[in-house]
Structure 1
């Protein structure tokens, strides 16, 4: 879990090209590679795609497990409205690097509300949903049965809130990445596929940790 099993930055960029990222970003392969030219070639970091370049909902189908593509749950059509929470700064760059990713297995069966202050106390920041998808694009093996993770840096602000409300009121859902059981609206054909779903911020789940990184660099 120390990131040393990750491909190098260049290897990750090559893989993103093969998966069709340039086309999703409406640019040519050379132009896409130029975006990554300043990222170096270290091992242990994740190449993250800024949602302004390619949104999370378009990244999700590039995930693959057991021969099945990833997907976003049917009742999360508003995924693009989920934004970084206060205190999480995303580099203003189309591609950037996430350092020292951790899945947060030790916090399985914690709620997002409980996990966030603990992650912060450790000097780390949680992943956004786009960053979580990018981690699995670089290292699919991080998604395992009973060892999946939430991406609690992404929350949707509520459209309306009382004027007396301090701060920004948030939708109660928090995005997560796990493995579909092929039931309900998922459909049997999606059994075993990587799934972008959501959980309530106050609920606990025994199979979900809380992914975080030490820092983000552009």
Structure 2
């Protein structure tokens, strides 16, 4: 279904899991996908999958989202090529090792905060003006983790809570503008993050990321597809 032709969609964390599933689905529907991840090979595989499904060639952006200058360049490049951003799917996440609160290392704590919280705010700073320029109103989509608390999840849960606070504030601040900020809660998926947090879990009972992306796509897009 080519109903998103001409729409620019940025997907962070696009190389695997839910990010890749959203990127593939958006590309197959005709969106011009801007795929951000650290691994070049995985991004190239994503592009191959999108084109095999009949979608346009993706724009591959291998970068670390904790690189502030790179995020500024990303925003400038999107503005230079498209002049706007219709959709941002933020699926990048860091999963620090499980540890008791008193044993969380400085390295693990700082990286979780840098990726899950600080980079989210830096991306908002770079992408907010572009989303406001989208003709139908830009949309930013964030994902809540239903099971990010409890014993040994302190660093992860704290960083995700900080990100939620930032994005919730942004959602309230932009209510008068043509910009929609969404928080979606996917069901448990057989992701690498979940496997790390719950080793030994029966993955057959979990919902594949492709199915989750397909089910959540209409909510992520709102009525933008109808106006494309």
Higher strand share: 1
Higher helix share: 2
Q: TM-score range by the shorter chain?
A: under 0.3
Structure-2-length-normalised TM-score: 0.25
Structure-1-length-normalised TM-score: 0.26
Higher RCO (C-alpha under 8 Å, 6+ residues apart): 1
